[in-house]
């Protein structure tokens, strides 16, 4: 039986196991699928299939009236139009995550922010996807001038945006009406930060336990 006592330091531990072989199963437009033969020592050698993902940033934009800006976007794998915060892939080689967040806030919400913090980091599905997500809290917001706004294309062309009271968004999550992981993690974290008077927020460039991005598409 393993020891179930609470560890003295409750944090994820960077770790790896020897990879004996990697097979590239699929090469897609945005991410790839790989199979690794992994040596687990006494537990033997196992094969693990997973999606190689560049990682992503999410932006919870919060205004002085405690409203958050959400977009409703079609997500084909789940066959739903999901309400979620602005977000984007870390698919530009060498791009700083904070600068990526600034770009996505500009492109998807026509907003700029002068105050940034790290809100929460998470792995959406660590058992099968290498994706790591950082959620930023953006405040002190200003609209982007009309002449500088991004022209949305593809799946973003019919994206709807709206200001929503944070309290209403939290209720929608807890009642099962909002499902996107970025919304669940980001908005619940924003609610907790607000209740704590934003005292525990981290620097926007705080250390991040993020797997190395193995796929850069642009």
Q: What is the mean pLDDT of residues 118-145?
A: 96
CB 132 within 8 A of CB 120: no
Per residue in 16-25, pLDDT (tens digit) is 999 999 999 9
Q: Which residue of the set 108, 151, 156, 212 is catalytic? A: 156
pTM: 0.90
Match 């790896």 to its residue by tokens: 16
Per residue in 138-191, pLDDT (tens digit) is 999 999 987 777 676 666 667 899 999 999 999 999 999 999 999 999 999 999
Q: Is pLDDT above 60 for 50?
A: yes
Looking at the domain that runs over 56-195, which CATH code has it been given? Answer: 3.90.79.10
Question: Which DSSP string do the residues of 15-79 spell out, in sequence order?
Answer: ----EEEEEEEEE-SS-EEEEEEEE-GGG-EEEEEEEE---EEEEEEB-TTSEEEEEEEEEGGGT
Give residue 214's Cα distance to chain centre. Answer: 17
156 flagged as catalytic: yes
Residue 198, burial from CB neighbour count under 10 angstroms (0-12, 13-18, 19+): middle
Ranges of CATH 3.90.79.10 domains, the chain: 56-195
pLDDT score at 185: 98
Confidence of residue 205 (pLDDT cuts 50, 70, 90): very high
Q: What is the mean pLDDT of residues 51-58?
A: 94
């Amino acid at each position: 039986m393993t020891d179930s006592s609470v560890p003295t330091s409750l944090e994820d531990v960077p770790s790896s196991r020897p990879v004996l072989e990697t097979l590239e199963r699929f090469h897609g437009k945005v991410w790839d699928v790989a199979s690794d033969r992994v040596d687990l020592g006494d537990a033997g050698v196992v094969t693990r299939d997973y999606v190689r993902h560049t990682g992503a940033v999410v932006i919870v934009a919060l205004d002085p009236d405690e409203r958050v800006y959400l977009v409703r976007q079609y997500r084909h794998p789940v066959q739903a139009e999901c309400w979620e915060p602005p977000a984007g892939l870390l698919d530009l080689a060498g791009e700083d995550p904070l600068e990526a967040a600034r770009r996505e806030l500009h492109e998807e919400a026509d907003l700029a922010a002068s105050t940034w913090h790290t809100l929460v980091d998470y792995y959406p599905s660590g058992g099968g996807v290498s994706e790591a997500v950082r959620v930023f809290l953006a405040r002190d917001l200003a609209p982007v001038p009309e002449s500088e706004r991004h022209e949305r294309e593809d799946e973003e062309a019919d994206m709807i945006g709206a200001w929503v009271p944070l309290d209403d968004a939290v209720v929608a999550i807890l009642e099962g009406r909002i499902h996107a992981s970025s919304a669940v993690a980001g908005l619940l974290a924003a609610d907790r930060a607000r209740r704590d008077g934003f005292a525990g927020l981290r620097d926007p460039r705080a250390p991040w336990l993020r797997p190395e991005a193995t796929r850069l598409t642009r």
